[in-house]
Structure 1
Amino acid sequence: MFTHRKRLLASTAVAALAASLAACGGGSSDNGSSSGDSTEAKAGGTLNYYIFAPYEHVDPQRTYVGVELTNFRRTVYRSLVAFPISQDPDVANTPVPDLATDTGTANADSTQWSFTIKDGVKWEDGKAITCEDFKYGASRVFATDVITGGPNYLLTYLDIPTDPKTGLPAYDGPYKGDGQDLFDKAITCDGNTITYKFKKPWPDFPLAVAGLSMMDPYREDKDQGNKSNYQIFSNGPYKIEGSMWNKNKGALFVRNENYDPSTDSTDIRKALPDEINFNVGQTTETIYDQLIADSGDAQYAITSQRVPPAYYSQITGAVADRSTLVPSPYVDYLVPNVRRIDNVDVRKALAMATNKAGWIEAGGGEKAYTPADSIVNPAVVGYQPNPAFADIPDEGDPDAAKKMLEDAGVTLPYPIKFTYPQSDTMDKMAAALKQTWDAAGFDTTLDPLGDTYYDVIQKPDKDSDIVWAGWGSDWPSAITVTPPLFDSRPNLSAASDGQDYGGYKSDAFNKLVDAAQGAASLDEQTKALQEADAVLGEDVAYIPLEISQFYFLHGSKVVGFTTTPASSSYPDLGAIGVEN
C-alpha cells in the first residue's frame, strides 16, 4: 500500500546516480546556513527556481516527493500544523500550529486527535477555510482509483472497516460515495473543531500532518478529480498566476491578496519574494552553467538540482561562497534476496566484504555521499547505528569475509548477481563492490538495468541475489522506514515483493512492528523500532551503503539561502529572499 511513495523516493536516489549524477554533490558550507550571505533578507523582488524534471503532481493529496512537498507547503498550501524553519533538528522536527490553533489534542491512547481551525484563515478567493474543507481533503485519499500517487496512511489508520472483497476500506472516496456514513463517523466536525478517529494508536499523527500534505484542506467545489492534478487553489501567501501548473514549463507564483500574515508565523513562512518563478525543463548542466556564470536572472536563482561531480572543480573562490553542502534525508542500501541467499552466514560475509568507501569514491567522494550505518537516517527519530554492522570497516574486510564463507561450508567461489540502475557512474560504483566481493570468495555478475528497474526488482521470481535501493522517511520517525520496507504482510504476494525487495519474512520483526504501531507513546514506539532494526541487522535483511549529500549553488543576489530538515534538505522557500 506504500508502493508509489517508496518508488518515488527511491527514484530520487536513482536520479542521484543517473548519467551525469545530476542530483548529487557537496559544497563549501558545512551546514544549511545562509552560505556567504551578509545582506539581511527583505521583502520584494523575483526569485527564480530552476527545476530539471517535471513534477508529476501539484494536487496536495497526490504530492509525495520531498522537494515538491517543501516548495508548496511554504508557498501555496497550509495545513493544521507545520514544521518550522530551523537547522536545529529538535526544533525543525517539532510541529507548530499552522491553520490550527495548537498542535492537537489526543485521547489517552492516541487513537483520537482533535484540532481547532483558526478564525480568519481564507482561500485565495476570500472564502473562509472550514472544518468541512479539511474533512473533504482527507476523503479524497480514499478515492484510490482517482487520487493516485500520494500518501495513503489514512487507509490503514482511519477507523473504517475493511471490505473483505477488495482488502481496501469500505469507504471509496467522495466521487463514488460508497460507505460515506462510515467516513462521517471517523472524521467529525463540531463547529471549527475537527476530530479524527483511528483504529490503532497514532501518537505521531501531528508529525505525519506536518510532513505530508494528505491532511490538507480541499474545497469540494474546486475538485475536478484527476483533472485537478495540476490545479492550484491557494490558502498560502502566494497563488499561481492563472490556475494551472504547466508540467513542462512550471508556473509563476504571485502574492495572494487574501492571505493574512497575522494568521501565520514567520517561523514557518517569511514569504519574502513578491514573485517566485518556477522554471522547469533545463538540464542540470545548463542550470549550473548559468549559476556559475552568475549573470542576468541566474543572479536571483536557486535550484533543487545538485552540483554534478564534473562541475566540482569550478566551485572555488567566490563561487564556493555561494555553495551549500548538507546531508540529505535519503539512505542508499543493498538488499540480499533471502530466497536465493538463504544462509544468513553467507549474507553476513557479503556485508563484511562490502566496500562502502570504494562505492562512495566512485560516486563522487565526500561531496556526494557519507557512509551510512543504518537504513534509518540520522535525522530521523528512532535512529541509532545498527549494531550488526558496527565492526565492519568502510572498506570492507575481504579476508574476514572469506573466512566466514569457508566456515559456512559453502562451495567457493559463491556466485551472486548484483542488480542496480544503470549509468556510467553506477557502473563504476558497482565495480568497486565487485572487487572486494570477489576477493572474499564471491563470483559477482553485474546486472545493470536501463529504462526499467523497480518493476523488475519487485518480482518474486527475479534471479537477482542482491539489489540496490534508496529510501527516505515520510515524516521524521522510523515508523516510516523499516516497517514499510520489511514487514512481509503488506508487501509480499504472489505477484509482487512490494518494497520488501529481498523477500524478507520474519515473525520476530513483524511482532516488533506490531508493538511499534500499537504503542501509545513515541518512546514506546521508538524502543520497539530500534529492536526491530537490530533484528534486520542480525538477519542481514539489508546492508547500509551511504547517505546522499546535497550540494547546491545559488545566485549572488539570493539572500537568506538555507536548507532545513523541514525542507527535506532542499532550499527552504520559507526563508529565502532576493536583493531588491
Structure 2
Amino acid sequence: MASNKKRMLAVTAGALLASTALAACGSDDDGGTKGEAGAKGGTLYFVNDTPIDHWDPQRTYVGTDISKQSRLVYRELVTFGTSEDPAESATPLPDLATDTGTSTEGGKVWQFTLRDGVKWQDGKDVTCEDLKYGFSRNFATDVIVGGPSFYPLSYLDVPADADGTPQYKGPYTKKGQDLYDKAVTCDGKTITYNFNKPWPDFNLAIAALHFASPYRADLDEGDKSNYQIFSNGPYKLEGSWDKASGGTFVRNDQYDPKTDETDSRKALPDKITFKIGTKLETMYDSILADTGEASCTVSDRRLPPSKFSEIPALEEKGFYQNPESPYVDYLWFNTEKLPLEVRQALATATNREGWIAAGGGERSYIPAYSVVNPSVAGYKEVSTFKDIPLAGDPDAAKKILTDAKIKTPYKIELRYPQSDTADKQAAALKETWDKAGFDVKLSPEGDVYYSNIQKPDHNYDVGWAGWGADWPSPMTVLPPLFDSRANITSGSLGQDYGKYVGKEFNEKISEAQNATSLDDSIAALQEADQILADDMVYMPLEIAKFNWVTGSKVDFHTTPGSNSFPDLGLIGLRDGGC
C-alpha cells in the first residue's frame, strides 16, 4: 500500500506473520502514551496539511486512509485487530462474516457467510449483493482509479481480452456482466469467489485492503462518489466532506457493537473532527502549545525536522513515539521516456545521504537497498543499489552519459508532493544530479499527487513514491508496483507510475505466482527485483520512521493493524477531553 508524505502460502502464513512486516510496524513500548487510559466521550481532532485523495473504499490505497476507514466507517468480511502483539495483530478476525472464510480447490474458491444484524447508516441490511457489487467496481478501471484493483483483476476467474485485461469491464457498462456473475455468486447470505489460480491468503488481503468492501449500488455515482461516505461502522459523516477543509464524524445509531466481535472499534470519542489545510509547521506549533482543542489533537503527518529540538521534552512526558514504519520511499523513472543510460546515471548520482539528512536524519530514515522492506519474508539487498555510494557518485554518472553519447545538460523534471521538508530533500537530489550533467527542474505538487502520477498520459520524468507490503509477502510489493499486465489500462497506470512494461519481469512474476513452494516463489521474486535493477526502473531511497506527537489529553495508540499510523479504534481522550 502507498505511504503518504500506505502479506504467503496459507500453511506458512501464521508463522511468518509473527516476524515480518507487521512486526516492523510495532510502536515503542506498548504503543500507547503515558497517563490514564482514554475514556468514552469528547471530541478528538485529527489534523492534516494535505487533502485525503479518496474516501471511496475501492479507490483507497494509502495506509493511513485504509486504517481510518476500517476503524470508523467501513467494515470488511474480516479485519485486523488492535493487538500490539505482531502475531495476534496479523491474524484476521471475523467482522462482517461469521468466520474467516472457507477455501477449497487449493485456494481457488473462497466462501464467506454474512452475520445477521449488520446495517448501513440508513437502517438497511448489509447484503451479499452489496459485497458482490463492491467487488465488481474494481473492474471499472476507467472510473474506479487509484485503488488496489491489481488483485481482483489478476485473480478473479474472468476470461481476458487480447490485451490481457478482463473481459468484464465493471458495473457501469456491464460489458461481460455474465462472466462476472459466474465468478462471484450469492446464495442468501453466502458469497463465493472463484479465482483463476490459488489465492491461499485471500482473507489476509481482505483484512488489509478495501477492494472487497460492500457497496450500495443504489448510491453509486462512480467518480462523483469519491467523497461520499456511507457507513456500516460505529461513526457516520455529519453533513458532507469538504476536500479542502475536512469534516466531522459522529456516532452511527445503526451500528450494533454486538455484531462486532473484533474489539477493533472501541469508538471512544463522541466526535472526530478532521481539519485539513493548515501548514505542517503551523499545525505542530499548535499541538506543541497544547492548549484548548490542541490538547485533544492527533495527526498522521510526521513531526517535521524543524521541530526535532522539542523531542527530548516530549519523550519525557510520553507524548512522542518513533516507530520504524513498514514503508520504503523510492524514486520511479519514466521508462517510456527516459533511455536506460539516463536512468542509470540518475540512480548513480542519487544522494541518499543528503536526502536522509534533509528529512531529519536517523530519527526519520534508514537507508534502503530494495523497494521491499527488510521485515518482509524473503527480503534480499539488491547489489546494484547497495554498490551505489549513499552520497551518490556524480562523476561516475557523468561518465555513463558521456559513454552513451547523451548530450548534456540533460533536462529532467522531478515531481513530488510538496512540503517544506520535501523541498529540502528534492534540493539535495538536484545538487548531485546537476553535477552529473543534468539540468533539473523541481516541480512540487500541492494536491492529489498520487492521482496525477496514475494518469496514463502523464509525461513526468522522475517522481517520488512510498510503498509498504499490503500483507507480509513480497508478492504484495513487486507485482502491484511493476506488473504492467494488471496495472496499466486505458484509464490508469495503477501503481506502475513509471509506465514499465517488462516481459522478462512479468514472466518472473508469473513464475512466482504459480510456484508450488514458498521458497520457489521468493526465489523468483528476488530474481524479479534484480531485473528491475538491471532495467533501472526505480531507485530505493530509505525506510521511513514515524515521529508521532499528540496533545496531552490524547491516549495515543499505534498498532500493526493500523499500519503504524494512529489507531482510531483505540485512541480516546482523558482528563475530561475537549
The TM-score with structure 1 as length reference comes to 0.81
State the secondary structure of the residue aligned to 1:471. strand
Paired residue for 1:577, among 549, 555, 572? 572
Residue 272 of structure 1 is matched in structure 2 by: 268
Paired residue for 1:373, among 369, 372, 376? 369
Residue 239 of structure 1 is matched in structure 2 by: 236
Tell me how far apart the structure 1 counterparts of residues 444 and 343 of structure 2 sit (CA, whole Å): 26
Correspondence 1:555 to 2:551: yes
Tell me how far apart the structure 2 counterparts of residues 490 and 375 of structure 1 sit (CA, whole Å): 19
Residues 88/509 of structure 1: CA separation in 2 closer, same or farther (3 Å cut): farther
State the secondary structure of the residue aligned to 1:241. strand
Correspondence 1:564 to 2:562: no
Tell whether the 8 Å contact from 2:82 to 2:89 is kept in structure 1 after alignment. yes
Paired residue for 2:174, among 174, 177, 202? 177
Correspondence 1:261 to 2:235: no
Deviation at 1:74, TM superposition (A): 0.4
Tell me how far apart the structure 2 counterparts of residues 379 and 516 of structure 1 sit (CA, whole Å): 19
Tell me how far apart the structure 2 counterparts of residues 319 and 34 of structure 1 sit (CA, whole Å): 13
List per-residue Cα deviations over 1:233-271 (Å, max 9, x = no partner): 2211222234x3333333322222332223323542222
Residue 157 of structure 1 is matched in structure 2 by: 155
| Amino acid paired to 1:421 | R
Tell me how far apart the structure 1 counterparts of residues 124 and 29 of structure 2 sit (CA, whole Å): 37
Residue 64 of structure 2 is matched in structure 1 by: 67
Residue 357 of structure 1 is matched in structure 2 by: 353
State the secondary structure of the residue aligned to 1:103. coil
Deviation at 1:546, TM superposition (A): 1.0
| Amino acid paired to 2:283 | I
What aligned pairs does 1:88-487 form with structure 2 within 5 A after superposition? 88-153=85-150, 154-163=152-161, 168-242=165-239, 244-318=240-314, 321-335=318-332, 342=340, 354-396=350-392, 401=396, 418-421=412-415, 428-430=424-426, 432-433=428-429, 442-451=436-445, 467-473=462-468, 475-476=470-471, 477-487=473-483
Deviation at 1:318, TM superposition (A): 4.3
Percent identity among equivalent residues? 50
Tell me how far apart the structure 1 counterparts of residues 242 and 570 of structure 2 sit (CA, whole Å): 25
Tell whether the 8 Å contact from 1:137 to 1:216 is kept in structure 2 after alignment. yes
Tell whether the 8 Å contact from 2:183 to 2:195 is kept in structure 1 after alignment. yes
State the secondary structure of the residue aligned to 1:61. helix
Between the two proteins, the alignment pairs up a number of residues equal to 547
Residue 542 of structure 1 is matched in structure 2 by: 538
List per-residue Cα deviations over 1:486-506 (Å, max 9, x = no partner): 335566899998865666555
Tell me how far apart the structure 1 counterparts of residues 149 and 502 of structure 2 sit (CA, whole Å): 24
Tell me how far apart the structure 1 counterparts of residues 393 and 241 of structure 2 sit (CA, whole Å): 51
Tell me how far apart the structure 1 counterparts of residues 458 and 295 of structure 2 sit (CA, whole Å): 52
Deviation at 1:295, TM superposition (A): 0.8
Tell whether the 8 Å contact from 1:371 to 1:546 is kept in structure 2 after alignment. yes
Deviation at 1:569, TM superposition (A): 2.4
Deviation larger for 149-158 or 481-490: 481-490
Tell whether the 8 Å contact from 1:46 to 1:275 is kept in structure 2 after alignment. yes
| Amino acid paired to 1:571 | P
Residue 76 of structure 1 is matched in structure 2 by: 73
Deviation at 1:126, TM superposition (A): 3.6
Tell whether the 8 Å contact from 1:211 to 1:474 is kept in structure 2 after alignment. no
Deviation at 1:124, TM superposition (A): 2.8
Tell whether the 8 Å contact from 2:146 to 2:494 is kept in structure 1 after alignment. no
State the secondary structure of the residue aligned to 2:379. coil
Tell whether the 8 Å contact from 2:121 to 2:253 is kept in structure 1 after alignment. yes
Tell whether the 8 Å contact from 1:124 to 1:235 is kept in structure 2 after alignment. yes
Deviation at 1:470, TM superposition (A): 1.4
Tell whether the 8 Å contact from 1:32 to 1:324 is kept in structure 2 after alignment. no
Tell me how far apart the structure 1 counterparts of residues 186 and 453 of structure 2 sit (CA, whole Å): 45
Deviation larger for 314-323 or 510-519: 314-323
Deviation at 1:228, TM superposition (A): 3.3
Tell me how far apart the structure 2 counterparts of residues 31 and 112 of structure 1 sit (CA, whole Å): 40
Residue 20 of structure 1 is matched in structure 2 by: none
| Amino acid paired to 2:52 | Y
Tell whether the 8 Å contact from 1:32 to 1:325 is kept in structure 2 after alignment. no
Tell me how far apart the structure 1 counterparts of residues 331 and 128 of structure 2 sit (CA, whole Å): 45
Residues 386/85 of structure 1: CA separation in 2 closer, same or farther (3 Å cut): farther
List per-residue Cα deviations over 1:295-334 (Å, max 9, x = no partner): 1111111112222222222344147631222333432224
Residue 36 of structure 2 is matched in structure 1 by: 39
Residue 46 of structure 2 is matched in structure 1 by: 49
Tell whether the 8 Å contact from 1:110 to 1:520 is kept in structure 2 after alignment. no
Tell whether the 8 Å contact from 1:232 to 1:240 is kept in structure 2 after alignment. yes
| Amino acid paired to 1:471 | G
List per-residue Cα deviations over 1:308-367 (Å, max 9, x = no partner): 222222344147631222333432224466675546xx9778656543222211233223
Tell me how far apart the structure 2 counterparts of residues 204 and 41 of structure 1 sit (CA, whole Å): 35
| Amino acid paired to 1:78 | R
| Amino acid paired to 1:64 | Y
Deviation at 1:103, TM superposition (A): 2.1
| Amino acid paired to 2:437 | D
The TM-score with structure 2 as length reference comes to 0.81
Residues 521/38 of structure 1: CA separation in 2 closer, same or farther (3 Å cut): farther
Q: Which blocks of at least 5 consecutive residues in structure 2 are unaligned?
A: 7-25
State the secondary structure of the residue aligned to 2:206. helix
State the secondary structure of the residue aligned to 1:199. coil
Tell whether the 8 Å contact from 1:125 to 1:258 is kept in structure 2 after alignment. yes
State the secondary structure of the residue aligned to 2:56. coil
Tell whether the 8 Å contact from 2:27 to 2:558 is kept in structure 1 after alignment. no
Correspondence 1:511 to 2:507: yes
